[in-house]
Chain A
Amino acid sequence: MDNNNHKEKQPLFHITKRNEMPVWQAMSVRVIAVMAALLLCMILSFILIGINPGKMLVSMITGSFGSQRRVWKFFKDLAVLLCISLAVTPAFRMKFWNIGAEGQTLIGCLASVACIINLGGKVSEPLLVIIMLAASLAAGAIWGLIPAIFKAIWDTNETLFTLMMNYIATFIVSYYLMVWTPSGSSTLGALKYGFLPVVFHNYFLLILVVVILTVLIYVYLNYSKHGYEISVVGESRRTALYIGINVKKVIVRTMALSGALCGLAGFLIVSALDHSITTNSVGGQGFTAIMVSWLAKFNPLAMAGTSALITFLNQGASQISTDFNIDSAFPNIIVGIIIFFIIGCEFFIYYKVNFRHKGKEAK
């Protein structure tokens, strides 16, 4: 019956899944998307607030590469974001939607700061830093384990659970800030102990740690038995059960790893950068990391690229705000448009849009 009415019912266009696109072709789609996004941004910036599109582009680039200091900052910001992105990836590969990286990282920060406040000056600096590292890893792991255990035993919804754990972490931090500042300001300020050793440059060790971590996670996910188990659980739990994988164990183990790596990021933020904590110490990077990981198709090496892109856009946006003396709303719109195009173009890489052909009869 359908066949008879075929001609009249054919829609304007329909969508089909593509066969795998060659890498060069996929890359060129992405480049075109970025170009189109930039073009749109330039037109908008000119029409809406009358700024010179060329100057805007220059501003965006100098934001990350305008001086040696900014280049270091670029790689430092990239490294922190990449560290959290790497942390969420093992769980994502398992299709465990952990959106609690923000809280897991923050609780890692808190653990490090708690060590500084209670042990600073009482034990030697190197020992303090090691204790901080251990405490942050443990705190992050525990924050990841709680939802994982609930998931493994009672099959609770991990997305909601991990999200709520973020708020709990934030309020625990608020609480301790009150306890630690009797003056009532809830502002701790930079503490005097617990500094990550400075090698070559303030940020060098932090960046090096994340580079090594990237390689380790890549190897772990692609060439280890654990990595294989994670992939199988992600593909199909039944298959995993069938081939004798202990699914609960894999979930719990992987979330502990994810949480611990977030804890590591928290440790790095405290020991190498802030030496303090606020409720905003992670600054939403726990959520940005989800996008970074997803855009890179959960490939740790590609994540270096996607983190670089996001960092570049963020620094560019704040530079535009500074150079053109405007509030941060418009630069953020620009970043939003570019990211939207980048995510949107993935659709065209995996799917094909077929338009109705006049005169041609579809098979």
Chain B
Amino acid sequence: MKKFLALVLALVMVLSLAACGEKKADNKNFKLGVILLHDEASTYDLNFINGVKDAAKALGLSDDQVIYKRNIEEGDACYEAAADLVDQGCKVVFADSFGHETYLLKAAKEFKNVQFCHATGTMAHTEKLDNFHNAFASIYEGRYLAGVAAGMKLKEMMAADSSVKPHIGYVGAFTYAEVISGYTSFYLGVKSIVPEVTMDVQFTGSWYDEIEEKNAAAALIDNGCVLISQHADSMGAPSVCEERNVPNVSYNGSTVNSCPNTFIVSSRIDWSPYFQYICKQTMEGKAIDTDWTGTIATGSVVLTDVNTKAAAAGTADKIKEVKAQLENGSLKVFNTANFTVEGAALSSYMADVDTDDAFTPDTEAVKDGFFHESEYRSAPYFNVNVDGINCLNAKY
């Protein structure tokens, strides 16, 4: 009996020790793999890299617990990179580009014990895998705030010189919901300050094409746009604005160092809260949300510091005021009272939320007097053409 007791005790001790060891080892052995479409040269990817770095700092992860794969094409290369990261012991694999999704999904189906997280994608909520997740942020709120800053500047310019017309420009990548939602919310932000504003949008047909973005910005300026913003990933548009001394509202991060005289403010998604979230959940063995939407409240939608040299007086205070309204829900960006479509208010809109081959609209998005963006899935689906915005080359 004594022997048996001793054996049981010994077993309990060993097991508890092992359990202890395991728990500690969990955090030390934890590895995060990050798949990037480009590298630090792209503002889009740099924003993710900075997010990972901040998260790693907050969680106390060492340098060798984060593995980056740069310049991974949107093809089989993404699957290969994901599989290689799994081989190296990554517990969470993250990919940052829209086109990575189907290939990351392939890896998720093969490696069931690893969590796969994908930014900007749309398929997780319909694929229903335990280890495949989408994430995005309600960046339209950040765009709206940036639009308010632009509106302040425009108002100031018009007050100083009566010949300035309320006409602004926007360089977009594709006529894709993410871009349309972005420029529309920006426009509505400007419109809340300068109601008579109109906006031209020039598309480049690429997410990253510095020359095309430069050309587009220059063409808009030549056509009389007095302020420019953009949704494309290179420094093309901001640098042209600096050369031509036209105020610029940026995206993905501050461009104040290269554009000290024209940069007003930039909205961006801070991915750090999401990276912290997926790492923590995985370390603790908890499930990750299938479809995660970051907000102003989670610290995912942020604005950079206002550049007082270029911005209108009182911009920072105004942003603070509007941000509070967005946070407490008293202000809705896509309030149907604030815009018209072909001269009429928008009372109903079927959005394509569930991805299928035929791109069928499937969900009613207008309810309670506003368009419910980023609610039914994290990736944007607002793709309505609002009056006052003129798409110069909508073919893309």
| Chain A interface residues toward B at CB < 8 A | 67, 69-70, 73, 174, 178, 181-187, 189-190, 273-276, 278, 280-281, 283, 318, 321-322, 325, 327-329
Contact B70 A276 (CB under 8 A): no
- Which B residues, 49 to 108, have Cβ-Cβ distances below 8 Å to chain A? 63, 67-71, 73-76, 80, 83-84, 87, 98-99, 101-103, 106
Min C-beta distance of A352 to chain B, whole Å: 42
Cβ-based interface call for B276 (8 A): no
Min C-beta distance of B178 to chain A, whole Å: 8
In the bound complex, CA of A312 to CA of B41 (Å): 24
Contact A281 B70 (CB under 8 A): no
Contacts of B69 in A (CB 8 A): 318, 322
Contact B73 A283 (CB under 8 A): yes
A selection of 28 A-B contacts at a CB cut-off of 8 Å is A69-B80, A174-B205, A183-B176, A183-B383, A184-B174, A184-B177, A184-B180, A184-B383, A184-B396, A185-B98, A185-B174, A185-B178, A186-B176, A187-B99, A189-B102, A274-B76, A275-B76, A276-B74, A278-B99, A281-B73, A281-B75, A318-B70, A318-B71, A322-B70, A325-B63, A325-B68, A328-B70, A329-B39
- Which B residues, 167 to 201, have Cβ-Cβ distances below 8 Å to chain A? 174-180
Contact of B87 (CB < 8 Å), options: A69, A181, A274:
A69
Contact A183 B73 (CB under 8 A): no
Q: Chain B interface: which size bin?
A: 35 or more
Min C-beta distance of A240 to chain B, whole Å: 42
Residue of B nearest to A272 (CB): B76
Contact B352 A183 (CB under 8 A): yes
Contact B174 A67 (CB under 8 A): no
Contacts of A280 in B (CB 8 A): 73
Contact of B41 (CB < 8 Å), options: A73, A186, A327:
A327
Closest A-B pairs by Cβ, 9 of them: A190-B102, A274-B75, A273-B76, A189-B102, A184-B176, A184-B175, A327-B39, A187-B99, A327-B40
Residue of A nearest to B63 (CB): A325
Contact of A189 (CB < 8 Å), options: B39, B99, B359, B383:
B99
In the bound complex, CA of A187 to CA of B39 (Å): 20
Min C-beta distance of A335 to chain B, whole Å: 13
Contact B396 A278 (CB under 8 A): no
Min C-beta distance of B362 to chain A, whole Å: 13
Min C-beta distance of B377 to chain A, whole Å: 13
Contacts of B103 in A (CB 8 A): 190
Min C-beta distance of A276 to chain B, whole Å: 6
Cβ-based interface call for B2 (8 A): no
Contact A321 B176 (CB under 8 A): no
Contact of A327 (CB < 8 Å), options: B63, B70, B106:
B70
